[in-house]
Amino acid sequence: MPKGYWVSVYRTISDPEKLAAYNKLARLAVEPGGGRTIVLGGRVVAYDAGIAERTVLVEFDSFEQAVATRESAAYQEALAALSDGVERDFRIVEGTPMC
């Protein structure tokens, strides 16, 4: 069964304090929304047009669940705390785990 994934790649982090505030609030939205963080930071080797910055991957049981969590009031609060503290590429994708 396909799952939903949040994929975030941070181009720049200009305000680490805003990112820290966002992280605390985002967790309060993601976990109740059924999200499981699979990748959080770590080393990156970027190829082609890739960006060697912080990368986050969150898995949800469905694409719809991932979208609903992104649109939730709790996550909107996290986004407000983040505001202009980072520049990132954020997307929600549907996929089937290969394992």
pLDDT digits (tens, 9 = 90+) for 50-68: 888 899 999 999 999 999 9
Higher pLDDT: 86 or 96? It is 86
Q: What is the pLDDT of residues 13-22, one digit of tens each?
A: 999 999 999 9
- Measured between alpha carbons, how far is residue 91 from residues 17, 57, 77, 99 in Å? 23, 10, 18, 22
Residue 61: strand, helix, or coil: coil
Q: Are 24 and 74 in contact (CB under 8 A)?
A: no
